Structure 1
Amino acid sequence: MKKYGWLLLFAGFLLGFGIANTGKVIKRADVRAAARLFQLHFERAEIDTMLNYLESNRRGYESMRGFQLKNEVEPAMVFDPFPSELEIPSYNGLNHWEIPAHVSLPENEEDIAFMTIPELAALLSSKKLSATQLTNIYLNRIKAFDSNLLSFITVTEELALSQAKKADEEIAAGNYKGILHGIPYGVKDLASVPGYPTTWGAEPYKYQVIDQKASVVQKLEDHGAVLLGKLVSGSLARGDVWFGGKTKNPWDLNQGATGSSAGSGSATSAGLVAFAIGTETLGSIISPSTRTGVTGLRPTYGAVSKHGFMVLSWSMDKVGPICRSAEDCAIVFDHIRGWDPTDRSSRDASFEFNKAADLQSLKIGYLYGQFSKDSSQNNQHNFRALEELKSLGINPEIVSLPDHHPFEVFDIILRAESGAFFDELVTKDSHREMVEQHKGSRANSLRQARFIPAVEYLQANRHRRQLIEATHQVLKHFDVVISPTFGGRQMLITNLTGHPALAIPNGQDADGHPTSITLIGNYFQEEKLLQVANAYQQKFPYHQMRPEAYKKGLD
């Protein structure tokens, strides 16, 4: 049995090797060279027994490449991260979102642009402000400031104005759809919108138009939200560099916004949108939210449909909101969550957000080891935030995440899956058109994916299953766990396991850059994260900080 396992390993390797050797007979020297990559040795006779298998495998690969795969085709194996003992709480429909009364219309349009979703909804529903007026405020800000930020790839102005006009007509006729009706937003340009480019931030796809509407975009449209445009994703969801340049941090134009939801963080922070939709595979909501001083929710894996979004990793991608407050994140998440027949990994689950939740009834933990190991200047902010959270009436207990797992290997899961999705980019040499070509670039990551054996990918996922079970056994005893955003392995672990996380601003560093703290929760218990964050933001309003640097040279 072990011998056949190694044969499968070579089948995986030669899926890549066969490209360069197409049309040539596989020789013993080829097999020896391949074996050296994986520190294996086979005798001459053993290699001879493999050659027919390897030739047969290669013919299969070549045959397979003759059949086109559409973007929406998933592997037959659907990732299920949930422990066997987990009971997903039953779906309970939308929350009732109260719209505040007596909200005054600010005289300054900039103040309007930075209002919360409930405040904007109050102005729209009371007809103190029309959806068209609000949309034009944001469109004008995009035109005025985005040349500094490079947060938008495509501004969907015509669509936005038509949707805003429709919202005004519906509201005037008494057909108010709820708290998102008439609220303008942006979506990361991994999501397809018919009639507009879906570039994935990459030069080879600069003019790609996908005749498909992402399920999240459709849901928001159904609730009356107004789409302002497609926000920057770093090239193929890596970093903050795309074919148009580098997306900037509104707090410091010498800094990138980090990635890959760079545009979503930057535009939200600078008041170019009321909220944004981002995606995360390994930090792409949490990281730009921290850098740009906004609040970002990475939901449970499968809580929000990924249909219509570019795939980086079928088993790790999540879609979530990037907003200016925890309450805004709760509102947007409530409207985009739930099962979708076009995404087999999606799930229905309850979500009961309570602004007046009793935090003392929650069991809270904190990753003491990560606090103590963080030697950065931000560590004082982390400890201060911990004390501020304690002042809300919580008494956090020390907790540690699992540490004895082969963490060095887990990145191959993402790289193998992205390699499969972008296989044609490599086999047709389009990877050479991408802007970045260095060792850490997405182009290089896709090239090396061809040399990840199938056996090792499956072995990594077996170890991942053990990590999932071990992490669940720790987190299930707590409602919320507090962690530094960076440092340690919590972001890697919780992305691999599919647990939800929330980044909330907790001040600024010595250079005036925003910092954050992260809350981690159990599967499908986003409301607890958001309730703790909302209580924190009500008492410590770091989320109300506004950047000024993005206006530099444009006043």
Structure 2
Amino acid sequence: MQKSFCGKHIFLVVLILTFFLSACGGSKKFSKKDVKRSQDLVGLSFTKKQIDTLYPYLKRNKKGYDSLRKYPLDYTVFPAIKFDPLPFHFSQKTQAGIPSWDIPDSVEVPTLKSELAFYTIPQLASLIKNEKITSVELTQFFIDRIKKYDNVLQSTITITEELAMEQAKKLDAELQAGKYRGILHGIPYGVKDLMSVKGYKTTWGAEPYKNQEFDMTATVVEKLQDAGGVLIAKLVSGSLARGDVWFGGKTKNPWDIKQGASGSSAGSGSATSAGLVPFALGTETLGSITSPSTRNGITGLRPTYGRVSRYGVMSLSWSMDKIGPMARNAQDCAIVYSIISGKDPKDPTTTDYPFGFDKNKDVATLKVGYLKKDIDKDTSKSKDNLTKALEIFKKMGIKMDSLELPDDVPFNSFDIILRAEAGAFFDDLVLSADVDKMVEQDQRSRANSLRQARFIPAVEYLQANRHREVLIEKMNELIKDYDVIISPSFGNRQLVITNLTGHPVIAIPTGLDKDKHPTSITLVGNLYDEASILLLAKAFQENTEFDEMHPEGYMD
């Protein structure tokens, strides 16, 4: 099978001698001295004669770069060269279809109504379907919770109240008329504010875009609406998908409001944890679902690259971005994922592989490995809970083989890929100097990252992607004979590797550390096999109560 190559519009990253592009629009003359001064940056040394030969060529290149800026690109335009996560000779495992989700009949509205905030999707669906509560009542309940608690948490950018109440009334009327859309019928939710919703601002969490509005609705939002979901809030994204700081402040962890919620799906993590929404959608490029899921004590699924459409969603890295659910538990994630996944003609990277979740499958039949070396080396406060989780898996009848991640690849180079692609998407922001308006401007800020992206040579970007191809093959060799690999959530190479190779992961709670902060463990699956990690996560949660723990102070 011929593989396509990871990339983007090469002309936007052809920066072998990027220094001369500081003369934006030709305002500064580009000289041979500029070539000479930049040699150390690209790791080369040219003779005077070679520079004399290079100079006319580079001048022609610069004219080409300048001409590109005269032709605006819409944010929805994907690169012509796309990332393909499939290893050579990849064979997907036989998969089942989407299951019929069980909706219990015995659920009642609690005496203490605030307990509704922490009900699972099947529990809420039972109340709606059996007409023990209306969608309007449930929607108003969660909107009121946002208004009550969000002044402290700062998890929400926009409450979509008018849209939500309109949807809830329509869904109640449909139910009265005998039309039931399915398990999400009438259930509220929130989305990270990288996702466009027609009629509302899509701020990307950043000062330069805080009044931005698109005349479109993201495919994932449309799918949830069609399934009966009620959108009540656009939740905080750290500024341009980095961290938990946005133009309105810093999103807080409900377990400890002195601590940030982590990012960049900060609002989705915080709001779900505090029971302001039953579930939310987040995005991940390099930890933005798994990190806030861990910090806020919820369950977060990052699907295989290309499983969920990104149409209508801000891009940070075309070859690394993924969208996934953040929810109470693995089953809730599976329910939401089954609705938002699938082929979308508006997103050329999406696939149509079957979901494959068999809720009746015996988890003891799964072939499981664990990263013993990484677990043994873990020095974090979550180590004790990590070890206890392994013991729980053993008691569940799970047999685990010791595995090691590939380490003979240039890990320090891979950040080039994310930064170069982000630099291209936000090129206009940097060239206009609006990047200076972003709240954070320190060395590790998104603003600084975008500026330095202009100094990434195209050759190195492509070389990094060649090494990424090697990494894909090495990772496939490790995981191809396993259904699940158990890993620490952080402090090891797993997070970097799986985001580069496109493998799915799920982060599940494992209790609290000595500081009463949530901890988690991560399950890694084969490409397009979310089913196995969801199945094992669901079984783990049926044998523990960690997913039922909630932060104090949100049951008033």
TM-score range, shorter chain: over 0.9
* Corresponding position of 2:212: 208
- Which of 2, 21, 24 in structure 2 is aligned with 1:18? 21
Instruction: Give the distance between the partners of 1:16 and 1:32, measured in 2 at CA.
Output: 11
Alignment check: 8 A CA contact 1:251 1:549 kept: no
Match 1:194 to one of 192, 198, 202: 198
What do the CA deviations read for 1:153-173 (whole angstroms, capped 9, x no partner)? 000011111111111011111
TM-aligned CA deviation for residue 494 of structure 1: 0.4
Q: Which of 131, 135, 149 is matched with 2:153 structurally? A: 149
8 Å Cα contact 2:95/2:357 also seen in 1: no
Give the Cα separation in 1 of the matches to 2:380 and 2:46: 49
* Equivalent position of 1:343 in the other structure: 347
Superposition map of 1:367-446 within 5 A: 367-446=371-450
DSSP 3-state at the match of 2:421: helix
The answer on 1:222 being equivalent to 2:226 is yes
Q: Which residue of 2 aligns with 1:457?
A: 461
Alpha-carbon deviation of 1:13? 3.6
Asked if structure 2 preserves the Cα contact closer than 8 Å seen for 1:506 and 1:517, the reply is yes
Q: For 2:87, what is the secondary structure of its paired residue?
A: coil
Tell me the CA shift for residue 354 of structure 1: 2.9
TM-superposed deviation, 1:114: 0.8
Match of 2:363 among 359, 363, 368: 359
Q: 1:308 to 1:112 in 2, by over 3 A?
A: same
Moved more, 243-252 or 31-40: 31-40
Report 1:233-252 matches (<5 A): 233-252=237-256
What SS class does the counterpart of residue 354 from structure 2 fall into? Answer: coil
Deviation at 1:24, TM superposition (A): 4.0
CA contact (8 A) 1:270 1:546 kept: yes
For this pair of structures, how many residues does the alignment match? Answer: 545
Alpha-carbon distance, 1:377 to partner? 2.4
Residues 51-73 of structure 1, C-alpha deviations (whole Å, 9 max, x = no match) = 11111000001111001000000
User: Does the alignment pair 1:49 with 2:53?
Assistant: yes
Q: Please identify, of 390-399 and 24-33, the stretch whose mean Cα deviation from structure 2 is larger.
A: 24-33
Helix, strand or coil at the partner of 2:373: helix
| One-letter identity of the residue aligned with 1:545 | M
- Whether contact under 8 Å (2:153, 2:251) holds in the other structure is yes
State which of 161, 167, 178 in structure 2 corresponds to 1:163. Answer: 167
Aligned-pair CA distance for 1:549: 5.0
> In the aligned structure 1, how far is the partner of 2:528 from the partner of 2:301?
12
* Aligned residue in 1 for 2:313: 309
Q: Following TM superposition, by how much is the alpha carbon of 1:108 offset from its aligned partner in structure 2, in angstroms?
A: 1.7
Which residue among 515, 530, 533 is the counterpart of 2:534? Answer: 530
Shift of 1:18: 2.0
Moved more, 444-453 or 96-105: 96-105
Task: For 2:93 and 2:347, locate their aligned partners in 1 and report how far apart those are by CA, in whole Å.
Answer: 19
Structure 1 stretches lacking a partner, 5+ long: 1-7
Secondary structure of 2:158 counterpart: strand
Residue-by-residue CA offset, 1:321-343 (whole Å, 9 max, x unaligned): 00010000000000000000011
Q: 1:130 to 1:549 in 2, by over 3 A?
A: closer
Does residue 540 (structure 1) correspond to residue 535 (structure 2)? The answer is no
Q: What letter is aligned with 1:394?
A: I
Compared CA separation, residues 279 and 247, structure 1 to 2 (3 A): same
Which amino acid in the other structure matches residue 123 of structure 2?
A: E
Distance in structure 2 (CA, Å) of the matches to 1:253 and 1:129: 32
8 Å contact 2:20–2:30 — kept in the other structure? no
Distance 1:218 1:193, change over 3 A: same
- Aligned partners of 2:15 and 2:456 also within 8 Å: yes
CA distance in 2, matches of 1:157, 1:515: 33
Which aligned pairs between 1:279-290 and structure 2 lie closer than 5 A?
Answer: 279-290=283-294
Q: Which runs of 5+ in 2 are unaligned?
A: 1-10
Work out whether 1:499 is the aligned partner of 2:493: no
1:212 alignment partner, SS class: coil
Aligned partners of 1:344 and 1:408: how far apart in 2?
A: 29
Code of the residue aligned with 2:167 in structure 1: it is Q
Q: Match for 2:476 among 472, 476, 490?
A: 472
Deviation, structure 1 residue 531: 0.7
Alignment-mate amino acid for residue 210 of structure 1: F
Contact 1:17–1:451 (CA under 8 A) maintained in structure 2: no
What is aligned with 1:4? none
Q: Quote the residue 2:515 is aligned against.
A: 511
SS at match of 2:455: coil
Shift of 1:191: 0.3
- SS of the aligned residue for 1:352 comes to coil
Do the aligned partners of 2:19 and 2:38 also contact (CA within 8 Å) in 1?
no
Aligned to 2:3: none
SS at match of 1:348: coil
Please give the residue correspondences for 1:245-324 in structure 2 after superposition, counting only pairs within 5 Å. Answer: 245-324=249-328
Letter in 1 for 2:457: P
How far does residue 11 in structure 1 lie from its aligned partner after superposition? 5.0
* Aligned partner of residue 487 in structure 2, secondary structure: strand
Give the direction of change, closer, same or farther, for the CA distance of 1:223–1:303 in structure 2 (3 Å limit). Answer: same
Provide the rounded CA distance (Å) in 2 between the counterparts of 1:16 and 1:183: 53
Change (3 A) 1:328 1:399: same
Whole-Å Cα distance in 1 between the matches of residues 364 and 93 of structure 2? 22
SS of 2:506's equivalent in the other structure is strand
Secondary structure, counterpart of 2:472 in structure 1: helix
Tell me how far 1:92 sits from its aligned partner. 6.5
- TM-superposition CA deviations, 1:226-255 (whole Å, max 9, x none): 001100000000000000000000000000
Task: Report runs of 4+ in structure 1 exceeding 3 Å deviation.
Answer: 8-11, 13-16, 87-94
Are residues 201 and 462 of structure 1, via their aligned partners in 2, closer, same or farther at CA, if it must alter by over 3 Å?
A: same
Conserved 8 A contact 1:19-1:427: no
Q: Secondary structure at the match of 1:483?
A: strand
CA distance in 1, matches of 2:57, 2:23: 18
Determine if the alignment matches structure 1 residue 133 to structure 2 residue 137: yes
Query: Residue by residue, what CA displacement relative to the aligned partner does 1:19-68 show, whole Å, maximum 9, x if unpaired?
Result: 33624443221001111212311000000001111110000011110010
Q: Matched residues in 2 for 1:291 and 1:139: separation?
A: 23
8 Å Cα contact 1:194-1:212 kept in structure 2:
yes
Aligned with 1:79 (options 79, 83, 89): 83
Task: Give the TM-score normalised by structure 1.
Answer: 0.96
Query: 1:355 aligns to what SS in structure 2?
Result: coil
2:336 matched to which residue of 1? 332
CA distance in 2, matches of 1:345, 1:532: 28
Alignment of 1:29 onto 2:33 = yes
1:112 aligns with 2:123: no
Q: In 2 relative to 1, CA 418–520 (structure 1 residues): closer, same or farther, beyond 3 Å?
A: same
Deviation at 1:473, TM superposition (A): 0.5
Preserved contact between residue 189 and residue 232 of structure 2 (Cα < 8 Å): yes
Question: Residue 436 of structure 1: SS of its match in structure 2?
Answer: coil
Among 155, 160, 183, the residue aligned to 1:179? 183
